[in-house]
Structure 1
Amino acid sequence: MAQHDRYISPFSTRYASDEMQYIFSDDNKFRTWRKLWIALAKAEQKQGLAITDEQIAELEAHKDDVNYEDAIAREKLVRHDVMSHVYAYGLQCPKAKGIIHLGATSCYVGDNTDVIIMREALQLVRKKIIGVLANLAKFADEYKDMPCLAYTHCQPAQLTTVGKRATLWMNELYMDLEEIDHQIGQLALRGVKGTTGTQASFMELFGGDSAKIKAVEADVCAQMGFTKVVPVCGQTYSRKVDYNVLSAVAGLGQSAMKMATDIRLLANFKEMEEPFEKNQIGSSAMPYKRNPMRCERICALSRYLMVDVLNPAMTAGTQWFERTLDDSANKRIAMAEGFLAADAILNILLNVSDGLVVYPKVVRARVMAELPFMASENIMMKAVKKGGDRQELHERLREHAVAAAAVVKQEGKPNDMIARVEADPAFGLSREEIEAELSPEAFTGRSAEQVTEFLRDVIQPVLDANKEDLGQHVELNV
């Protein structure tokens, strides 16, 4: 039942998916703690500690039914979250309570769980980036031949195509995907390292037998689905890991904000729009408005995500010696909300990229309004071939362009450059001859070929390798 008398994060109610919220949920966290305790007990048993199959079976029987009330009551008394959950687990497992957390420090469950959760979250981010790339690949291919104005300095420049511009968005998302893959590939468990990373408690447990300690750590690592542990650490894994991971995720914010900003500007030009639902209201005061609210939300959440990466950066830098606890409260918020923000951004990107609307006639009209300026060199060459003086024609074209621009900007009238050139005897060209140089398709260079090559060589291999991630559709809550 909804609660309306206290703060609830908009990530939970408006933006983040159920999948990502579960990854950072108490259930996932504390069940993972229990899996780690079970893994440790099994590994220690294999290396000769007096742990029975009955004790392990008791732990496994209660691995998912976390008794939160007992843990909460205990933490209020002892002010220690891990020991409160050790106590609560022990209440459910009286035969095994004496071997829960044996030889471990709090970061055995805390840090290892954080790494496991980050990997799960990165995998979900990865899946959704691939879904966006798949949507944009269809869009780019469909519109690879449609000429449109390119813009440098937000001023009309040499033509590109609608599809080619989409590949610019895709290329940055592909770069994000590569960085996400890199972070997934290099994640390592903290492992079984003891209080300050020296494994001293395990030396005591195993009578100084380093081989057994290393075997326990390797066993736990394998049970949790990892191939490696950090080579050295203090009490915690280096907080630079959090910074590296969130930096990769924050890179998505950069790409998403750039794409969303382009779409917002194109919506202003009336060339392209994000999906707009039948009953959607654009403005409470102006019924005609079609505001690009989804792309605006992408930009807002992207700013939050990009700024959030400062938290793990500062946390990594302010750790003292083997560890200080000023990381904990910040980390609980910053890492979870960074991923929730990324998830929210990707949900909107999936929705927007699945329903982008292009207005071909507007795109063409805007091209034709500027093309006479861009075609001036072609017109000049044609006039030279008919006997004109290149230097004189260049100057006359410059004067005509300045005058035509003034008509557009100062008088609000259409571009009349073609009429000016036609009327200038120095060129000796008819309107038909001039307009023959005004085919937009002749000014897009290799745009269409570049789209085809990019999709074939870069994107399609990713889609082929991840077919289970294709066909994602997202309905937004708001």
Structure 2
Amino acid sequence: MSEYEHYTTPLTARYASEDMSRLFSRETRINTWRELWLNLAIAERELGLNQVTAEAIEQLKAHVKITPEEFDIAAEEEKRRRHDVMAHIYTYGLAAPAAAGIIHLGATSCFVTDNADLIFLRKGMDILIKKLVNVIDRLAKWALKYKDMPTLGFTHYQPAQLTTVGKRATLWLQELLWDLRNLTRARNDIGFRGVKGTTGTQASFLALFNGDHDKVEKLDKLCSKLCGFDNVYPVCGQTYSRKIDIDVLQPLASFAATAHKIATDIRLLANLKELEEPFETSQIGSSAMAYKRNPMRCERICSQARYIMNLIPNSLQTASVQWFERTLDDSSNRRSLIPEAFLFTDSVLKILLNVISGFVVYPKVVEKHIRAELPFMATENIIMAMVRHGASRQECHEEIRVLSHQAGYVVKQEGGDNDLIERIKKTPYFKPIYDELDKLLDASTFVGRAPEQTEKFVKEDVAVALKPFADLITDDRVELSV
């Protein structure tokens, strides 16, 4: 049957990276289950369970990676048993017959399903953090490059005081630094369900060790350590609390809000023709309008970011309806919820890194927009210059007010350029400052401390935040397949 005859998720077909797609693959999941069973057996043998033999351990190690043929066996077994974990216990036992009787000894299904999910959450965070670090690093370098370039600031999407291109980027950077903090905190807070038994009481393991509570506690810690976790949740029901999913997914949704804001700003600047995302030489912007250069990458960021943000109510609802020690109405929901949250976030980061790596700035357009608004912004400076030459502030204010309204009429009613300065140059009243007008209109004198703020922020705040992640920073080119 053709691969094109079934639905496939665009997440893996179009958007997410290879490393994130592989993390949430069926192969990685089952291999992780097998590693968990192996580590449980190793810990049980080390703590004195003689029924777990050295031969059993060696066979489990030899077959810890599942084969395609074993997937087929497990699929047939799951049809018969209607239980995926039992199907894979059976399949692993066929490959390691000396261990068939001790695989999953004392454990419940959530020993593998939930512990594996916690492993995936932590590894997924590692992948995202690396990408986010590189987004921050490249955007910081870009901000420094353009720290001195004046540009119109906007409030209410109306022209306001000037800022610089680089200073505007620091607003994006600051939020990304908070996202890095949030993702790192969430990653480091992830613990392990460990070895807790069917309802979290460890009753089955207490029976295995003949009532020895100390050995049961050691088993929990040893098995968790073998799996790479020092932090083990002290209590749980059958599952780890689904509040952990909220704690992990909330920072992803918060980052998605940041990415949406950045991409929206870029889309608005693209409309002004001041800034563009990368555009390939053979890329088509519109099937009908050949001249168009649509900001499709940023539009995709916004689209996917909205999806991520809307996953949070799902995780909240799932956590709120877990009755007593557990219910099963979370299972099939989370099979999609968690991978999609990570795969979409991974995709947004990949696109964002591609966009930032290929930003195109059009200085002449930026200057044109400044020239259209700066005369109005400079009126206070012009008044002060006239006062220094002995003019009355009130009289000068009235002269400027009249000329400003005339220039505003030309701009708004006639669609012309802002000719306020030309009007001032033709008005004898302002003759004392004719020679100063160019200096008074120097855009660099209207940006305040924007260049200094940008440099200080990047060299201090950003540098400190990135220092622990220095080995993750690369200059690798980011390609988008579609």
Q: TM-score range by the shorter chain?
A: over 0.9
2:479 to 468, 475, 478: 475
Question: Which residue of the partner structure matches residue 65 of structure 1?
Answer: 66
1:247 is paired with a residue whose SS is helix
Q: Any conservation in 1 of the 2:137–2:473 contact (CA below 8 Å)?
A: no
Counterpart-to-counterpart distance in 1, 2:332 and 2:432: 75
Q: In the alignment, does 2:386 pair up with 1:383?
A: yes
Counterpart-to-counterpart distance in 2, 1:471 and 1:236: 41
2:11 is paired with a residue whose SS is helix
AA aligned opposite 2:62: A
2:217 to 211, 214, 219: 214
Question: Which residue of the partner structure matches residue 12 of structure 2?
Answer: 12
Shift of 1:184: 1.0
Range that drifts further, 386-395 or 258-267 = 386-395
Q: How does 1:149-160 map to 2 (within 5 A)?
A: 149-160=152-163
Q: Any conservation in 1 of the 2:143–2:170 contact (CA below 8 Å)?
A: yes
1:205 to 198, 204, 208: 208
Q: How does 1:218-297 map to 2 (within 5 A)?
A: 218-297=221-300
Shift of 1:178: 0.5
Change (3 A) 1:213 1:441: same
AA aligned opposite 1:31: N
Q: 1:424-472: per-residue Cα shift (whole Å, max 9, x none)?
A: 4554544332232100100111111111111111222344432333213
Counterpart-to-counterpart distance in 2, 1:311 and 1:199: 30
Q: How does 1:306-317 map to 2 (within 5 A)?
A: 306-317=309-320
In the superposition, the TM-score normalised over structure 2's length comes to 0.96
Range that drifts further, 86-95 or 272-281 = 86-95
Counterpart-to-counterpart distance in 1, 2:405 and 2:383: 16
Counterpart-to-counterpart distance in 2, 1:472 and 1:187: 29
1:71 is paired with a residue whose SS is helix
Change (3 A) 1:218 1:390: same
Question: Which residue of the partner structure matches residue 170 of structure 1?
Answer: 173
Shift of 1:406: 2.2
Q: Any conservation in 2 of the 1:422–1:430 contact (CA below 8 Å)?
A: no
In the superposition, the TM-score normalised over structure 1's length comes to 0.97
Shift of 1:362: 0.9
Q: How does 1:267-416 map to 2 (within 5 A)?
A: 267-416=270-419
What residue ranges of structure 2 are gaps of 5+ in the alignment? none
Question: Which residue of the partner structure matches residue 54 of structure 2?
Answer: 53
2:397 is paired with a residue whose SS is helix
Change (3 A) 1:244 1:402: farther
Question: Which residue of the partner structure matches residue 23 of structure 1?
Answer: 23
AA aligned opposite 2:332: A
Q: Any conservation in 2 of the 1:236–1:323 contact (CA below 8 Å)?
A: yes
Q: Any conservation in 1 of the 2:177–2:465 contact (CA below 8 Å)?
A: no
2:87 is paired with a residue whose SS is helix
What residue ranges of structure 1 are gaps of 5+ in the alignment? none
Counterpart-to-counterpart distance in 1, 2:305 and 2:126: 19
Counterpart-to-counterpart distance in 1, 2:406 and 2:423: 9
Question: Which residue of the partner structure matches residue 44 of structure 2?
Answer: 44
Counterpart-to-counterpart distance in 1, 2:414 and 2:435: 26
Counterpart-to-counterpart distance in 1, 2:360 and 2:471: 26
Q: Any conservation in 2 of the 1:386–1:428 contact (CA below 8 Å)?
A: no
Range that drifts further, 460-469 or 109-118 = 460-469
Q: 1:47-105: per-residue Cα shift (whole Å, max 9, x none)?
A: 11121110111111110024111211111111111111111111111111111101111
1:325 is paired with a residue whose SS is coil
Q: Percent identity?
A: 51
Q: How does 1:433-472 map to 2 (within 5 A)?
A: 433-465=436-468, 466-472=470-476
Q: Any conservation in 2 of the 1:388–1:426 contact (CA below 8 Å)?
A: no
Q: In the alignment, does 2:188 pair up with 1:185?
A: yes
Counterpart-to-counterpart distance in 2, 1:57 and 1:348: 44
AA aligned opposite 1:369: A
Root-mean-square deviation (CA, aligned residues, Å) is 1.5
